[in-house]
Chains A and B, each alone.
Chain A
Amino acid sequence: MNTYLRECSVVFRRQIRMNLRNPAWVLIGIMQPVLYLVLFGPLLKPLVGSFDSGTTNAYTFLVPGLLVQLGMFGAFFAGFSLIGEWREGVVEAERVTPASRSALLVGRLTRDILQLLVQALILVGLGYAMGMRGSMSGVLLGILLTLLVGGACAAASNALALTTKSEDVMAPVINIVMMPILLLSGILLPMTIGAGWLQRTSDFMPFRWIVDGVRDAFVGNLDTSGVMWGTTWALVLFGLAFWWGTSVFRKENA
């Protein structure tokens, strides 16, 4: 176990060192949700009372959605840097060492999750500054769920990167996957204001349950079925994606 943690931390520190050399990425990632917050938030203000979402505060409604969106979008692009590393032989050089295959993934995921945490804190801080109200424990749980979702998406993105090994394939795949997720998760507007068939469809979208869960948590209702389903789905997605990611790093050898 000790060796395993050491291997994870070697991979993690190597990744962080490269990220810090190019901190623009962290800022580019946070730009999108910040723009939504500043430019879309005001549009919600007159509408949010009619949503039946447990809050009349536009930012308490919007920030949870943006958090999950940040977790998904930011992390989905994590795999692109892995393709570059693979092309330069770095992944192969790591795989020829005795280091555990899953440590090669976990070290990278830790970097992605840490980066997401920084972005999430910025977003929540900005939300508070703009008038969001949320319970401290609920916000913490919401961030935790965001990190789980982000970890799942980052693991899936790394797996996809090593499977396709081409930015040209990966970019359209991510786009195709992201659009329905974005539209069916109720990130910007709640699914409950939609037609019946649209609501039924969104029931099949795990991310919708996570968004609802984070929203309930922010409002301070920690014992709702929304929080339970959101947490369950976040854990399930993380487990599946982690398994996929590890198996890809293990592939092509015993």
Chain B
Amino acid sequence: MIHARGLVQTFHTGKGKNRKAVQAVNGVDLDVEEGEVVGFLGPNGAGKTTTLRMLTTLLTPTAGTATVAGYDVVTQSVQVRRSIGYVSQVGSTFSGAYAGDEVVDHGMLYGMRRPAAIARGHELFEQLQLDGLWKRMPKNMSGGQKRRLDIAMGLIHDPTLVFLDEPTTGLDPQARANLWEHIEGLRSRKGATVFLTTHYLDEADVLADRIIIIDKGDIVASDTSDNLKAQVSGDLVDLEVAGDNQVAIARDKLASISDSVEVEGHHVRGRVARAGRVVPGLLRDLDAAGVSLDSIEVARPTLDDVFLTLTGRSLRDAEADATPEGPADPGDPPYDEAGPDSGTTSPALEGADR
């Protein structure tokens, strides 16, 4: 569905002598197969939105090639646009227009006839729990409703490939969980391929079959969430031993399957790959050796652990690093990455669009 080779995007920031090229995306290779749900994960400023905008024909790559839904993003941009749905992070509807009108007009720009667009719009409103909001203006909607309306806009022409850019940013936990259900429904109900960017680990974990991690413009990993976790850190096994004299035995037993055992009081901890497979054996061994446990805890590694192992920084630190040197670019909607032609607008308006 998506095949990208060596995608590069270079922006220019600063003026005069300070003008310099910033490579937002350094040569990204991506493959997404039909029916997959792929999570594109990375800290703010890593190049997520820039990559997405190149794949959706909104930004011409500085170098490299990409085919999306079988068409080249540069030479066949119209066919690409016809095949994909795009839900941007800034929204897509005018605050003072009726929600239903916006969706119908959007469908008609895809070449749909008005009656077809109206019928499809009502169907989507129902599926996305927006019934009764056809004549509501977006400015009078909740954050969650507005995001669902954006998704309806992106789906009006029944695309087989849907791009979602940070779909749940800024939503409260309930609205997020609700939106997750709808995103899961995209594939289960429609068989759509979904490519979503996020900087929430739990979101990628819940929704995606496969996770692609981007950091500083480079892809650093691409695998299932489980494999990524197994590969880099293993599960944390924490045994609380009942008696003092049993701590050493427990430590030796755990050390036979883990090479990073720590002891702290009655607690014996170590990381093991695929704990589910080895812990039953461990428990039998401990039982046979007469060790009794007060508690046992097995914690799956989080994607935060994965990111830390891959890049040497935690996601949170990476976010702090990624704050661009200059003020955010006014030349583009308030995305998380610097946009093109930062250097062409006067400093006076920087941040004016926030």
Contacts and interface: CB of A to CB of B under 8 A. Distances in A.
Contact of A252 (B58, B73, B111): B58
Given A14-B97, A93-B153, A96-B86, 14 more contacts: A6-B111, A10-B109, A11-B109, A86-B333, A92-B333, A97-B81, A97-B109, A99-B110, A165-B349, A168-B348, A168-B352, A169-B346, A252-B340, A254-B60
A87 interface: yes
B333 A253 contact: no
A165 B93 contact: no
Contact of A7 (B57, B73, B75, B109): B109
B350 to A, nearest CB: 9
B349 A169 contact: yes
Interface stretch (B35-43, B100-108, B199-207, B255-263): B100-108
Nearest to B352: A166
A92 to B, nearest CB: 6
A17 B94 contact: no
Chain B interface residue bracket vs A: 35 or more
Contact of A169 (B74, B138, B340, B345): B345
Interface in A1-44: 3, 6-7, 10-11, 13-14, 17-18, 21-22
Contacts of A22: 96
Interface of B: 56-60, 73-75, 77-79, 81-82, 84, 86, 88, 90-97, 101-102, 105-106, 108-111, 138, 150, 153, 330-331, 333, 340, 344-346, 348-349, 352-353
A98 B58 contact: no
A223 interface: no
A189 to B, nearest CB: 35
A165 B78 contact: no
Given A164-B349, A165-B330, A253 B77 contact: yes
Contacts of B79: 98
A24 to B, nearest CB: 13
A86 B330 CA distance: 12
A233 B84 CA distance: 43
Interface of A: 3, 6-7, 10-11, 13-14, 17-18, 21-22, 84-90, 92-99, 163-169, 252-254
Contacts of A96: 56-58, 81, 84, 86, 88
Given A88-B91, A89-B88, A89-B90, A95 B58 contact: yes
Given A18-B94, A252-B340, A94 B88 contact: no
Nearest to A3: B111
Contacts of B346: 169
Residue from B58, B59, B108 having most chain A Cβ neighbours under 10 A? B108
Contacts of B349: 164-166, 168-169
A93 B106 contact: yes
B78 A98 contact: yes
Contacts of B60: 252-254
- Please provide the 6 A-B residue pairs with the shortest distance between their CB atoms, ordered closest to farther: A93-B92, A89-B90, A89-B91, A166-B349, A97-B109, A99-B109
A166 B90 contact: no
Contact of A165 (B73, B92, B138, B353): B353
Q: Is the interface of A mostly helix, strand, loop or mixed?
A: helix
Contacts of B333: 86-87, 89, 92
B348 to A, nearest CB: 7
The CB with the most chain A CB atoms within 10 A, among B56, B84, B94, B101, is that of B94
Contacts of B150: 89
A13 B108 CA distance: 11
Nearest to B351: A166
Nearest to A13: B105
B129 to A, nearest CB: 21
Nearest to B96: A18
A94 to B, nearest CB: 6
Given A92-B333, A164-B345, A253 B110 contact: no
A62 B326 CA distance: 51
B57 A253 contact: yes
Nearest to B82: A98
Nearest to A84: B94
A90 B96 CA distance: 12
- The CB with the most chain A CB atoms within 10 A, among B75, B79, B91, B340, is that of B91
A18 B95 CA distance: 11
Nearest to B114: A10
6 contacts: A10-B105, A89-B91, A97-B109, A166-B349, A169-B352, A254-B74
Given A7-B109, A10-B108, A92-B58, A87 B353 contact: yes
A254 B94 contact: no
Contacts of B92: 88-90, 92-93
B340 to A, nearest CB: 6
Contacts of A89: 88, 90-93, 150, 333
